Every structure is written in C-alpha cells, then in structure tokens.
C-alpha cells in the first residue's frame, strides 16, 4: 500500500488543498437560503510545504479577481460581504491593492455603457504564479497524474492601461482570450459551482500538450498552456 503523493512533489500528502482556493466560494451565511456555492469543491492531496506556501497567494488571487469588471453578481456580492469584512479586520491587506490606483473609464462591450472605475495595479508575476499552481492542481485532479512540463497562464483581465504602448501590449492578450473562447465553444464545462468557477480542458498541438480555459465568476478568464519540456 503506498501513501498518497502531493500534487506538486514526491512528498507524502498530509492534507488536501482546495483548487481553486475555497475563499473564492461564498459562504452559506452570505447567500440567500437554499443557494449553495460550495458543492463538491475540488481538492488535491498536498504536503505541508505546498499547502502553506499557497495560502498568501490565494488571498491575493481573491482580491484581484473580485475587483474585475466583467464578473457576475456572485462576485459583487462576495466582495460586498466576505471581502469587506476581511478589509475591516485587517486594512493592511487591501493597501497592497490600493496603493497604485489609476482612474479609468471602461466600456461595457455588451451594453456600450461607460463605467468610471479605479484600475488597480496588480502584481502580475504573483498573480500568474498563483494561476499556474491552480493549473497544476487542476491537471492533477483531471488526469490523476502530476504535470512535469511547464505551465503558462494568460489571464484576460490583466490589461495594460498606463503604458504608452498599451494597445500593442493588450492585443495578444485579447487575441488569446478570443481564440480560447472559440476553441472551447462546444467542449463540456467542469465544476459544480459554475457561478464561481468552471474549467474546460482539451488536447493541444505539440509542444502544447493540453489547454485549459478557467472561468472565475464567469467573466474573469484564464487560458493555461501546458507545454512539454522546461
Ligand atoms: Zn509537495
């Protein structure tokens, strides 16, 4: 009988880790009665090191996601309840996000409405690393084996706003997002709480072995490319 291995390394798993993090899913007390958004959350076996190393990034991911404009009412409600409570408890948490605010006008592409909002400068590397970890965990969950190649994350919501060449920087991001939507159009969607999170998976073309499309609160989407080799 062999012990269960961690989703990231050869160590024996000592706990399970939620993927994506459980804090993204609203609690019962913040929802209308009868609504359950924590149905059959996905977990992977994890060692102590890989369980604790992620928890700070999880929180960061939650803030970055819940402030995105294209999200659904579930995200807004989650922000108005859980996240505001967390900010009241520990105002320094939110400071990281609000230090560099830039007022921007954003057009809702469906209604044409212009919203005035604040864009928050996101630590791109940190966010991408959190998303790559989620990618590895989902791969483990979906295929029951560890992914040893590389993972690249392409969020659709990290658009450049202030750089003088913002248009050129954003073009590949938008192109990738559009391609992924088209590619996954008729593929099944996995996940029991799709208001919060769902994912799709398909085989790619070498050197990309697998492609995933993650949807957070419907509107925040991330394309993940799993490439063979380093
Ligand atoms: Zn581990």
DSSP assigned state of 146? -
Please check whether residue 2 lies inside any domain of the structure: no
What's the 53 CA to ligand 1 centre distance in angstroms?
Answer: 10
pLDDT at 101: 57
Q: What is the pLDDT of residue 107?
A: 63
Tokens of 51: 């369980």
Cβ neighbors of 97 (< 8 A, separation 6 or more) are 63, 64, 67, 120, 122
46, 134, 163 from 17: Cα distances, Å: 6, 10, 37
Q: What is the pTM of this model?
A: 0.82
Alpha carbon of 144 to ligand 1 centroid (Å)? 15
pLDDT at 41 over 90: yes
Interval between CA 50 and ligand 1 midpoint (Å): 5
pLDDT at 24 over 50: yes
Ligand 1 centre distance from Cα of residue 10 (Å): 7
Burial class (CB in 10 A: 0-12, 13-18, 19+), 11: middle
Residue 147 within any structural domain of the chain: yes
| Cβ < 5 A residues, ion ligand 1 | 6, 8-9, 11, 47, 50
Helices (H), 14-123: 48-52, 55-66, 73-78, 84-89, 91-98
Residue 119 within any structural domain of the chain: yes
What is residue 131's predicted lDDT score, i.e. its pLDDT? 92
Number of structural domains the chain divides into:
1
Check pLDDT > 60 for residue 102: no
- Residue 70 belongs to a domain: yes
Report residue 40 as tokens.
Answer: 């059959």
Distance 134 CA to ligand 1 centre (A): 14
Distance 151 CA to ligand 1 centre (A): 17
Name which of 53-62, 104-113, 127-136 the model is least confident about: 104-113
Taking the CA atoms of the chain, what radius of gyration do you get in angstroms? 18
Facing residues of 226 across strands? 151, 210
CA–CA separation, 10 and 111 (whole Å): 50
| Residue 101: domain span | 15-227
């Amino acid at each position: 009988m062999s012990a269960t291995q961690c989703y990231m390394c050869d160590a024996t798993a000592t706990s399970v880790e939620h993927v994506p993090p459980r804090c993204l899913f609203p609690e019962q007390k913040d929802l209308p009665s009868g609504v359950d958004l924590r149905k059959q959350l996905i977990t992977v076996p994890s060692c102590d090191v890989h369980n604790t190393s992620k928890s700070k990034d999880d929180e960061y991911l939650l803030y970055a996601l819940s402030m995105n404009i294209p999200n659904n009412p579930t995200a807004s409600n989650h922000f108005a309840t859980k996240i505001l409570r967390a900010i009241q408890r520990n105002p320094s948490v939110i400071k990281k996000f609000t230090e560099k605010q830039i007022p921007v006008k954003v057009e809702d592409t469906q209604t044409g409405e212009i919203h005035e909002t604040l864009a928050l400068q996101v630590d791109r590397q940190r966010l991408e690393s959190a998303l790559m970890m989620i990618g590895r965990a989902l791969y483990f969950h979906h295929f029951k084996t560890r992914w040893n190649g590389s993972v690249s994350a392409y969020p659709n919501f990290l658009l450049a706003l202030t750089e003088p060449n913002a248009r050129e920087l954003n073009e590949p991001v938008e192109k990738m997002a559009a391609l992924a939507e088209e590619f996954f159009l008729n593929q099944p969607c996995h996940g029991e709480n799709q208001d919060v999170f769902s994912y799709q998976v398909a085989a790619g073309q070498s050197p990309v072995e697998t492609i995933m499309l993650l949807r957070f609160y419907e509107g925040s989407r991330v394309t993940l490319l799993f490439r063979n080799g380093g």
